[in-house]
């Protein structure tokens, strides 16, 4: 994603503007799409479904046998706008990010708020390995072995109350360490959010490492979110605050372009991004080169429908995109 200038989407992937405008007009006329600008914020969102995901169902999503992305690709082709807007900026510019000591402020609607060190936040929780497919909204995907702890286990330590309907996350925004923050590419700090049931889902990971090693800065050290059924921008990096809130929190990309980036951002091949299709993805894995990797069909919920579709039972996913 890039706001200034427009995202670097390969020319062949972009629907010609006239075709896109006609299609939008037609679909809007048919009532199939929300009016441009409707982000899902502002209107009361449907409550979480009451369907419970069984542990077996959840565990079946913890691994995939698909070919892994090379570590060198996963750590050199990154989005981390605090360090620049080009894919290869973070790998060099983020080297100066200091990740120790690191504290996270947890607050809002919970019985035990507090500002805690990273060590205390994760105390007694050995990192687990999860091999997840990751789908970026820009049309590429990777398969990454993460290390991390289930977000639910960490959140429960702070005892969220019944008013905690959503969880808001905030990244560090330090202009001394992060050159990109000196430029208004986004409304800093980077912010993201999840509905409480999404945050508590066993697939949702607070990642601290990848490929068996601690997270490199460019991938969001020392602590980032990984939500494998959502587009990659939900995976907020270098988290410094977690807040339990009652209403849908503001999120960085939704604030920047509400018609393009909804709050939910579940991977959905049936809902095009206004400027390109989401039906297929370039899978950067094995020896596939970053720009010309094989295109494969994108699956609903990024292939995790069996684990998460029930969270959205009864919701119109074109409206709540």
**Binding interface with ligand MTE (CB under 6 A):** 1, 78-82, 136, 171, 190, 219-220, 232-233, 235-238
Give me the least distance between CB of 252 and ligand MTE, in Å please: 7
Cα–Cα distance, 141 to 32 (Å, whole number): 27
Give me the least distance between CB of 101 and ligand MTE, in Å please: 19
261 or 312: whose CB is closer to ligand MTE? 261
Residue with CB nearest ligand MTE? 232
Give me the least distance between CB of 316 and ligand MTE, in Å please: 25
53 or 136: whose CB is closer to ligand MTE? 136
Cα–Cα distance, 83 to 79 (Å, whole number): 9
Cα–Cα distance, 90 to 100 (Å, whole number): 18
Beta-strand ranges (E) seen in the chain are 103-108, 114-117, 128-135, 140-150, 166-171, 191-195, 205-210, 213-214, 224-226, 239-245, 280-283, 295-297
- Full DSSP string of 226-247: E-TTBBGGGS--SEEEEEEESS
265 or 307: whose CB is closer to ligand MTE? 265
235 or 303: whose CB is closer to ligand MTE? 235
191 or 201: whose CB is closer to ligand MTE? 191
The region, left, alpha or beta by phi > 0 then psi within -120 to 50, assigned to residue 274 is alpha
At 62 the three-state DSSP class reads coil
Give me the least distance between CB of 293 and ligand MTE, in Å please: 14
174 or 277: whose CB is closer to ligand MTE? 174
Give me the least distance between CB of 43 and ligand MTE, in Å please: 25
For residue 265, give both structure tokens: 């951002």
Give me the least distance between CB of 113 and ligand MTE, in Å please: 22
Give me the least distance between CB of 130 and ligand MTE, in Å please: 14
160 or 193: whose CB is closer to ligand MTE? 193
The region, left, alpha or beta by phi > 0 then psi within -120 to 50, assigned to residue 313 is beta
CA distances from 231 to 34, 103, 261, 300 (A): 19, 27, 10, 11
């Amino acid at each position: 994603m890039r706001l200034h200038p427009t995202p670097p989407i390969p020319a062949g992937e972009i629907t010609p503007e006239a075709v896109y405008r006609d299609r939008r007009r037609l679909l809007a006329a048919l009532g199939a799409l929300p009016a441009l600008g409707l982000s899902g914020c502002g209107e009361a969102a449907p409550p979480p479904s009451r369907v419970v995901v069984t542990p077996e169902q959840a565990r079946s999503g913890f691994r995939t046998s698909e070919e892994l992305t090379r570590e060198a690709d996963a750590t050199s082709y990154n989005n981390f706008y605090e360090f620049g807007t080009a894919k290869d900026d973070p790998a060099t510019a983020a080297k100066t990010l200091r990740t120790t000591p690191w504290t996270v402020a947890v607050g809002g609607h919970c019985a035990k708020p507090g500002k805690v060190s990273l060590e205390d936040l994760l105390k007694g929780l050995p990192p687990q390995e999860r091999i997840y497919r990751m789908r970026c909204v820009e049309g590429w995907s990777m398969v990454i072995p993460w290390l991390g702890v289930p977000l639910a286990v960490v959140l429960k330590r702070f005892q969220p109350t019944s008013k905690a309907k959503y969880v808001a996350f905030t990244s560090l925004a330090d202009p001394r360490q992060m050159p990109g923050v000196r430029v208004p590419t986004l409304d800093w700090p980077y912010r993201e959010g999840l509905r409480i049931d999404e945050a508590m889902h066993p697939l949702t990971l607070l990642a601290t490492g990848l490929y068996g090693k601690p997270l490199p800065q460019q991938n969001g050290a020392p602590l980032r979110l990984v939500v494998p059924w959502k587009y990659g921008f939900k995976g907020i990096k270098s988290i410094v605050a977690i807040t339990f809130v009652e209403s849908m929190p503001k999120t960085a990309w939704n604030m920047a372009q509400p018609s393009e980036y909804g709050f939910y951002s579940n991977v959905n091949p049936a809902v095009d991004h206004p400027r390109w299709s989401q039906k297929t993805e370039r899978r950067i894995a094995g020896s596939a080169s970053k720009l010309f990797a094989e295109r494969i069909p994108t699956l609903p919920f990024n292939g995790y429908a069996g684990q998460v579709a029930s969270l959205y039972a009864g919701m119109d996913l074109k409206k709540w995109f």
